[in-house]
Amino acid sequence: MTPPPSSAAPVETPITAQKKGIQLEWVRRASVVVGVALLFIIFSVLTSSFYQPANLLDILLQSSINAMIAVGMTLVVMTRGIDLSVGSVVGLSSMIAASLLQGNLVLGIAAGMLIGVFCGLVNGFLIAKLKLPDFIVTLGMLSIYRGAALIYTDGKPIYGIDPLFRAIFAGEVAGIPTPVLLALAIAVLAFLLVRYTALGEQIIAVGGNEEAARLSGINIDRVKICVYAISGLLASLAGFVLIGRVGAAEPIGGTGFELQAIGAAVIGGASLFGGEGNPLGSLVGALTLGAMQNGLTLLNVPSFWQLVATGVVVILAVFADQATRRRK
Amino acid sequence: MTNSSQNMQLQGGDSSSKPLLELRSITKAFAGVQALKGVDFDLKAGEVHALMGENGAGKSTLMKILFGVQPPDSGTIAIEGHGEVAIDDPRHALALGVGLVSQEPSLVPQLDVAQNIFLGQTDALSVVKRGEFRARAKEILKPLAPRLSVTTRVSSLGMAELQVVEIARTLARGAKIIGFDEPTSSLTPAERDGLFALIRQLKGSGKGIIYISHRIPEVYAISDRVTVLRDGLVVASRATSEIDPDELINLIAGRRLAEELHHPIKVDAGRGGSEALKLEGVCAAGKLYDINLTVRPGEIFGLAGLVGSGRTELVRCIFGADRKDAGTIFVNGKPLDIRRPSDAIAAGIALIPEDRRKQALVPVMDVERNFGLANYGQYASSGFLRLKQRRKDIGRYIEEMAIRPRRAGVRIRNLSGGNQQKVVIARWLQSGARILLFDEPTRGIDVGAKFEIHELMRRLAKDGCALLVISSELPEVLALCNRIGIMRGGRLVNTFDDCSQLNEDLLMKYASGEVALV
């Protein structure tokens, strides 16, 4: 088309509004950086051990389980969903894996991962196909999967995790704990998924505007089911790290992990409004929460108070998200 | 601008009283678009002041600011008796005596008339004095609609009665300034006359009325003064009697578009006997009844009708966005089972929906990704995106369609309405669509870009696409379409193969059912 020269439409240069949006985004990012820096400074001043390399490595290790779950949570949150069942999936899949490990290492790992994926598929199916609210579905599943884990061994823990399994999921490579490497690899893969694949873009599209995605012919149900399945899979891997480190599997393992993961995802830049988020950011989010808990422990703050602190930080992060991203 | 504000001051001569309402230098920008660029507007007691302008000229934004839905970026609002005010929310606006009768009444269908009139006026903890409310509601309604019972459930009321309840609701709070936002868009002419009588009555009792419309005859029938907005600026503000209708059209639409509307540029009508899209007996429970129509390649078929007549429902049904219950859709002569949008897309059908922001765009994504939204089949191989190819293709459209800014990486929400619409059209052209369903294609688009979109649509028709176009702007339908169908109450009641004898007034009458079918 050759637009008639006289119809040169007034080209709006949206400098002011664009600037405003960018500024808010920077304020939010900067507040995370400043918050983390403050945490490190405060804890380094108050304790003599916080900034020691050994302790910093410890923080990385302690945060890795949450980081793995948070990557899956980030993808779910990006579709404007939420997965409250992840902690129970950790418990159930690690129990199944632990029970089968004793006979066959590969079987144990495969079964644990399959259970994780299956749990996610059930969540996704109920949410996408039956159009049930994600919050209620995954809250119900939180109870069901936990119940299943308890029923499986009648509430008893499983001791004696295979040494090779422990070496894989809780060992070290060149002085770096494998859980840290695993979390890093997962986050990078998820980042590439979002950036370079059709599914990744469709995740953003579904979360950014579900109706527009649907009217563009995107299979919304498939996208949703996929992210819940990924979330379940990553929860099962986190479960492996958990039992690898502890050396035993408990049916109540992973209790309360969902809040930590949501917190890490939101601190890392995932928006509960959907459409925005970064799997690499969730690493930062998990580290922030991990550093805080580590520092509080070093300061001898009772663990009950740490629960309170975690809740406060998560709510603050969500508040920042709402304040900077709310649109008319 | 300066001229018009001087004009306004001179106009003030007819009554020396201070205006009820004075807006000064109001500006407002939305994510990238300067919707209002310094607008002055005032209103006197006992006056009907019409506010005109095309979709996207800034009328709605100005009203949203006045009724506290959004704050202005700068500028002042002064209300008689309150001085300069900052209006926080619609509740606050009501408390200041500013009420709005919106296009779609915001009433609670499950409650009765009296309850709706006093909605939100009761203290949460106090006992609701139902009898007292009913008596007061009756009193307020007496001059407006003496026959309307205050105990009727609102869900059983028609559009005209809903408006009466909305008016009563603003009066119940002592509103002195009442805005009407396109109040006639879903009224029949008889109902419209009733509304006008009511407005005159309100005017007589000293209220100030802001009347928003893009229907020129109505503005002459009801208003004392008219202010025209175009692209966020006041282009004229004068006594209605001092402007002649032709000038008013020019002021509203700009000369180029006005010429187009005066001298329709029609593409050659459809080629031969082939049928790109054919509907036979399409029904959707409660929404569509036995729709039969045919659109040929190279043809622009217009759908006219009142709001709620089933036009949007029909195109959504064709596209598979909503279910149909009976009937067959033929594409290029073959019957097709369209159950979801992806089926329609595979058959070469595209929907350019009426609400771009809610239905067509993902605001957080950039231009390129929004363009690719319907084209993952082309741009993904075994799951991975072919980003280079996509970047190249959108670059071509940006050049060809003159999309501004030229960068594919800007977030789509920072584009103007016209440029967003071009991206949506580009998406569907890339998908290979040959049947395009346009629902209000120029809504929220500034005047210059409107003409470009029209030209683009004509070019598509010339290239052999079949276009089905819904527009509430009747001049647009008349200027663009080869054939026009009229919908009323979910039925396609009439089809005109020759539009040369049609005019706006006639279309309105057909749409409302005041003229018997041919």
Among candidates B383, B402, B418 on the partner chain, residue whose Cβ is nearest the Cβ of A197: B383
- Is B9 a residue whose pLDDT tops 90? no
Once rounded to an integer, what is the mean pLDDT over residues A114-124? 98
Confidence check: pLDDT of B29 > 90: no
Least confident of A252-266, B32-46, B443-457: B443-457
Mean pLDDT score across all residues of chain A: 90
The fold adopted by the segment(s) B255-348+434-518 is: Rossmann fold (3.40.50)
Residue of A nearest to B373 (CA): A216
Residue B260 pLDDT > 90: no
pLDDT digits (tens, 9 = 90+) for B135-166: 888 988 888 888 888 888 988 888 788 888 98
**What is the Cα–Cα distance from A193 to A296, expressed in whole angstroms?**
35
* In chain B, residues 97-156 whose CB comes closer than 8 Å to chain A: none
* Nearest-CB residue to B383 (from A199, A276, A327): A199
| CB pairs A-B closer than 8 Å | 136
Residue whose C-alpha is closest to residue B489's, from B105, B158, B193, B164: B158
Q: Are A83 and A228 in contact (CB under 8 A)?
A: yes
User: Residue A226's Cα: distance from chain center in Å?
Assistant: 15
Whether chain B has a CB inside 8 Å of the CB on A130: the answer is: no
Residue type, B229: L
Q: Which of A327, A295, A256 is nearest to A91 (CA)?
A: A256
Mean pLDDT in residue range A279-304? 93
Measured between alpha carbons, how far is B5 from B2 in angstroms, rounded to an integer? 5
Mark yes or no for CB contact A7/B451 under 8 Å: yes
Per-residue confidence band for A204, with pLDDT thresholds at 50, 70 and 90: very high
Put simply, the answer to whether A204 touches B362 (Cβ < 8 Å) is yes
A74-118 pLDDT, tens digit each:
999 999 999 999 999 999 999 999 999 988 999 999 999 999 999
Q: Which pLDDT score is estimated for B7?
A: 41
Chain A residue with CA closest to B32: the answer is A14
Tokens 């986190």 belong to residue: A238
**B500 and chain A in contact, CB less than 8 A:** no
Who wins on pLDDT, B110 or A136?
A136
The alpha carbon of residue A208 is apart from the nearest alpha carbon of chain B, in Å, by 5
Closest C-alpha to A271, from A202, A188, A208, A196: A208
Q: Does B416 touch chain A (CB under 8 A)?
A: yes
What residue ranges do the domains of chain A occupy? 22-325
CB-based contact, B401 to chain A, within 8 Å: yes
Instruction: Tell whether A211 is within 8 A of chain B (Cβ).
Output: yes
CATH number of B1-97+176-184+208-253: 3.40.50.300
Are residues B32 and A275, on separate chains, in Cβ contact within 8 Å? no
Residue B5 has pLDDT above 50, yes or no: no
Q: Rounded distance, CA B13 to CA B385, Å?
A: 67
Question: B185 with B308: CB under 8 angstroms?
Answer: no
Domain boundaries of chain B, sorted by first residue: 1-97+176-184+208-253, 255-348+434-518, 364-433
Inter-CA distances, B393 with A295, B47, B431, Å: 52, 55, 12
Chain A residues close to B367, C-beta within 8 Å: none
Average pLDDT estimate for A286-293: 94
| Residue A10 clears pLDDT 50, i.e. is over it | no
pLDDT tens by residue, A295-322: 999 999 998 999 999 999 999 888 888 8
Q: What's the pLDDT at A103?
A: 85
What is the rounded CA–CA span in Å between residue B27 and residue B396? 35
A5 close to B (CB below 8 A): no
Say if residues A173 and A181 touch (Cβ distance below 8 Å).
yes
At B84-106, the pLDDT tens digits run: 999 888 888 988 999 888 877 78
Tens digits of residue pLDDT in B388-401: 999 999 999 999 99
Please state the φ and ψ torsions of residue A127, each to the nearest 5 degrees. -75, -45
Which tens digits make up the pLDDT trace of A35-87?
888 888 999 999 999 999 999 999 999 999 999 999 999 999 999 999 999 99
pLDDT at A89: 98
Q: Does B404 touch chain A (CB under 8 A)?
A: yes
B315 touches chain A (CB under 8 A): no
Q: Does A306 touch chain B (CB under 8 A)?
A: no
Kindly report the backbone phi and psi dihedral angles of residue B304, in degrees, each rounded to the nearest multiple of 5, phi listed first.
-110, 160
Does the reported pTM lie above 0.90? no
Q: What is the pLDDT of residues B249-258, one digit of tens each?
A: 888 877 767 7
pLDDT value at residue A16: 42
List, in sequence order, every residue forming a beta bridge with B74; answer none if it has no partner.
B27
> Which CATH fold topology does A22-325 show?
ABC transporter involved in vitamin B12 uptake, BtuC (1.10.3470)
Q: Could you report the per-residue pLDDT of B339-365, keeping only the tens digit for each? A: 999 999 999 999 999 889 899 999 999
Judge: B383–A219 Cβ closer than 8 Å, yes or no.
no
CB A218 within 8 A of CB B372: no
Distance CA B95, CA A287 (A): 50
Query: Which of B115-119, B406-410, B487-491 shows the lowest per-residue confidence on average (mean pLDDT)?
Result: B115-119
The residue ranges of DSSP E strands in A61-186, in sequence order, are: 158-159, 172-173, 176-177
Alpha-carbon span B279 to B327, nearest angstrom: 7
A218 vs B contacts (CB less than 8 Å): 342, 373, 376
What pLDDT score does A326 carry? 60
Instruction: Inform me whether the C-beta atom of residue A12 falls under 8 Å from chain B C-beta atoms.
Output: yes
Contacts of A28 (CB under 8 A, 6+ apart): A269, A320, A321, A324
- pLDDT, tens digit, for every residue of B188-227? 778 888 889 989 999 999 999 999 987 788 899 999 999 9
B31 neighbourhood in chain A, CB within 8 Å: 14, 17-18, 21, 327
DSSP string covering B355-373: -IIIII--TTSBHHHHHHT
Higher pLDDT: A227 or B60? It is: A227
Picking from B374, B451, B452, the nearest residue to A216 by CB comes out as: B374
Whether A2 has a pLDDT exceeding 50, the answer reads: no
Return mean pLDDT, chain B: 86
Give the pLDDT confidence score for residue A30 in this predicted structure: 82
- In terms of DSSP H, where are the helices of A14-52? 15-46
Task: Specify the higher pLDDT residue, A208 or B514.
Answer: A208
How far apart are alpha carbons B375 and B431 in whole angstroms?
6
Query: With contact defined as beta carbons under 8 Å apart, do B333 and B385 qualify?
Result: no
Lookup: tokens for B134 = 């009913």
DSSP structural state of residue B153: B
